[in-house]
Amino acid sequence: MVQVMMTCLVALLWVLIIVGERAAQGQRPRRSVVFSDVKLKLFKEADFDGLSSLMVGDDVGRLFIGARGKVLALSLDDITIKTNEVKWTVSSADRGVCEMKGRSSEDCENYVRMLHPLDDGRMLACGTNAFSPACSYLTFKGGNLTMETAVQDGRGKVPFDPYQDFASMMDGNTLYSAASSNFLGTDMVFQRHGQNPIKTEAKRSWLNEPTMISINLAKLNQTTENREDDNVFLFFTETAVEERRSDLRLSRVARVCKSDVGGMRTLQRRWTSFLKARLDCPFGDAGSPSLVQDVFFLQDEDNWMESLFYATFTSNPEPSSTCSQSAVCAYKLSDVRQVFRGSFLTESDSGGWVTYAGAEPFIYPGSCINDEMRAGGVVSSLNLSDTTLLFVKHHPLMEGAVAPVTGRPLLVRSATQFSRIVVDKVTSLDGQQHHIMFIGTTAGWLQKGVWLNGEGGRIVEELQLFHDAQPIYFLQLSSRSGQLYGGARAAVVQLSVRDCSRYTSCHDCLLARDPYCGWDLLRGLCAAVGGASDASMVQSLADGDVGSCPNADCKSKIAHMRLFTHVYPSEESSRRISMVFLSSPTGQQPFTAVHLAAGVAQFLPCSPDTNLPVSWSFSGSVLQPGPRLVLLSQGLVVTPSSTDAGLYTCETVEEVKGREHRRTVVRYRVQVHDKSSRIQDVAVIVSAVCAGVGLMFLYRCCRQKVKNHVGCGNRWRDADMGGTEVTGGGGEGGALR
């Protein structure tokens, strides 16, 4: 009976270990920090949901939030402090009309989906208003937030549907939007509003079932030698007209000129400069195009042509796929513009798209006004010939594709859905500038990535922003306060991007190679390098050199651990299974005394506070898998014989620029006892081990399931199912590709 019980318990042990190991497979960011360990501020109220827009007001110290039926103002320094709230609900008449048209009561609310600052200090706010979009103006003055009573038509500025994707940008007091302009959400238009309204032509070759992502402005007029007109870029996905597959969706970037006012006769009040090209981010399976999810424009004020578009992508999965990979690609502004100077595609008589081989009209189609054109008498799009405008009308698609700056993604992760991205610039102690990427996922985790020249990208750490798995729909960074703000449907979080407290030792601080952080020699802690002097801090971003760490950092610290609380009846039994830390010679890592039963598979845990790979050694020799040894990411399964008694050491292994760094996590002084001496006590041992390991792995699996909840589909509605966080890719930190 005892033998049967032992066999069952050992089998349970193996099942739990294998399940836990499979859940932990795949390379990960260097460190994963769960919600309870992240230093953040959380805003959440019982009647607060339907978060639809978010705007950082650095000038007034407020975070403005558009939600269902209201706009809130939170303190930018502490979002748990709500300073103002303005109600903006729908009338009963509008709600009745909306519901009569077949929409649900919930969808017939007013979701404030747009908040933009204006030059006069006011804010433009637009909401869905029971599928009848409306806009108004907000004023924040003297600490009070008020809304004007006058309401404008919001059609084409925000969608009718509270969940449909759209994009908008405010340039001074001029609004650019890419949104549906009809109740069914089928008429998608990219337009500029205001005194000189202008929009896209209603042609399938211009926009074909698009999903709008982002609009960005590149200010070139005052920064280029020939004073070219400023460029406006639209990022979107659409069904490709040039591909044989009728359902194939591709990522696109389109460009128009800021001063475009349409043509005199042809393309009246239509963009005369609208050109589009494929946006490539090569990863995943061949034949599965990647779909852009979000774009952040990082401007280089010294050289605008060196400015970068950072974009998140997910692969386009086949119908049989359960989920997709995600990646981050970066594109140089000069490379994007170069594609719009290339060859055009044209539609053939058979309906296919081929390279245009004829003569291109002068002026080059889609050109933005510059000094050369002005000297020739073309000072406005109204001066363009009908020949040029007709060519643009029928040839909006470029042959070339925009490739990422490195020719490949900066980061790739498997079975993960990236949602939003923001990028910060930080100056390290050596005066170099580095780009830090903050990437949200549909499972509520934030990836903190670094791109170092010559090395590619890597994920320094990932942070769980919400207790429950939910998509991150909004990410904004305050340059004034160094705070990052993230929003889900019913909650907003705030955290400092310069928090270095998770690096608890000098070695950990320097090996993480986090550009925000350095080791403070005077205070003996990892701290933000902003404003620090070279004399008081050390940093090694290039190669993770820990040679400058003080020796005191390497001293052993004795901790205490209690694995089992079961009280055993006999003194001999308690001696056999006791696990306590014993003192070791000065300067050496303390070890744990462990008594194991011969011939019984038992587990020695090793749980570092990072996701680095571990290595086991026995009496100074590196252990290899064998008949009696199974090496796992979270421990070692050993079926010992009498010759296996000795000192077992678990270390993390980190390689930086060809240099290997090892840090001891735990050491076990193992003694092996003959299992025949007290078979009943051994059964108790195995039972205790199974119970302890079982609880540990069940906890890990449950936590992993919350973290790894798979969900693919619409970025607004279906994404609420969550996303998978089982990581993949190659290279250090589980990020390189």
Domain that holds residue 696: 557-707
Which pLDDT belongs to residue 551?
Answer: 77
Range 264-282 average pLDDT:
97
Range 581-608 average pLDDT:
75
Lowest mean pLDDT, pick from 112-126, 343-357, 577-591, 697-711: 697-711
Q: Is 643 exposed, middle or buried (0-12, 13-18, 19+ CB in 10 A)?
A: exposed
Q: Are residues 237 and 379 in the same domain?
A: yes
- Provide the whole-model pTM: 0.85
Q: Are residues 698 and 575 in the same domain?
A: yes
Nearest-CA neighbor of 370 among 267, 222, 522, 497? 222
Q: Are residues 548 and 562 in the same domain?
A: no
Give me the helices (H) in 673-732, please: 679-707
Which pLDDT belongs to residue 317?
Answer: 57
8 Å CB contact between 516 and 426:
yes
Structure confidence by residue, pLDDT tens digits, 466-523 = 999 999 999 999 978 899 999 999 999 999 999 999 999 999 999 999 999 999 999 9
Residue after which a domain boundary falls, among 415, 437, 455? 415
Q: Are residues 658 and 594 in the same domain?
A: yes
User: Do the domain assignments include residue 384?
Assistant: yes
User: Do the domain assignments include residue 50?
Assistant: no
User: Do the domain assignments include residue 600?
Assistant: yes
The pLDDT mean for the chain works out to: 84
In the 8-state DSSP scheme, what is residue 503?
A: -
Nearest-CA neighbor of 459 among 486, 436, 434? 436
User: Do the domain assignments include residue 294?
Assistant: yes
User: Do the domain assignments include residue 468?
Assistant: no
Q: Are residues 410 and 534 in the same domain?
A: no
Structure confidence by residue, pLDDT tens digits, 681-716 = 444 444 444 444 444 544 454 444 434 433 343 334
Give me the helices (H) in 474-564, please: 506-512
Q: Is 347 exposed, middle or buried (0-12, 13-18, 19+ CB in 10 A)?
A: middle
Can you tell me whether residue 391 is helix, strand or coil? helix
Structure confidence by residue, pLDDT tens digits, 293-341 = 999 999 998 888 999 999 999 986 554 445 678 999 999 999 999 999 9
Nearest-CA neighbor of 311 among 231, 448, 409? 409
Q: What is the CATH number of the domain that holds 658?
A: 2.60.40.10
Q: Are residues 608 and 531 in the same domain?
A: no
Q: What is the CATH number of the domain that holds 525?
A: 3.30.1680.10
User: Do the domain assignments include residue 113?
Assistant: no
Can you tell me whether residue 408 is helix, strand or coil? coil
Q: Are residues 222 and 335 in the same domain?
A: yes
Q: Are residues 530 and 613 in the same domain?
A: no
Q: What is the CATH number of the domain that holds 402?
A: 2.130.10.10
Range 75-89 average pLDDT:
96
What percent of the chain clears pLDDT 90, i.e. is strictly above it? 66
Residue after which a domain boundary falls, among 535, 554, 573? 554
Per the structure, the count of domains in the chain is 3
Nearest-CA neighbor of 612 among 459, 456, 452, 450? 459
User: Do the domain assignments include residue 425?
Assistant: no
Q: Which residues pair with 673 in a beta bridge?
A: 597
* Greatest C-alpha distance within the chain: 103
Which pLDDT belongs to residue 674?
Answer: 79
Q: Are residues 603 and 519 in the same domain?
A: no
Residue after which a domain boundary falls, among 351, 383, 415? 415
Q: Are residues 546 and 572 in the same domain?
A: no
Which pLDDT belongs to residue 675?
Answer: 57
User: Do the domain assignments include residue 336?
Assistant: yes
Q: Are residues 545 and 639 in the same domain?
A: no
Q: Are residues 399 and 252 in the same domain?
A: yes
What's the distance, CA 719 to chain centroid? 14
In the 8-state DSSP scheme, what is residue 6?
A: H
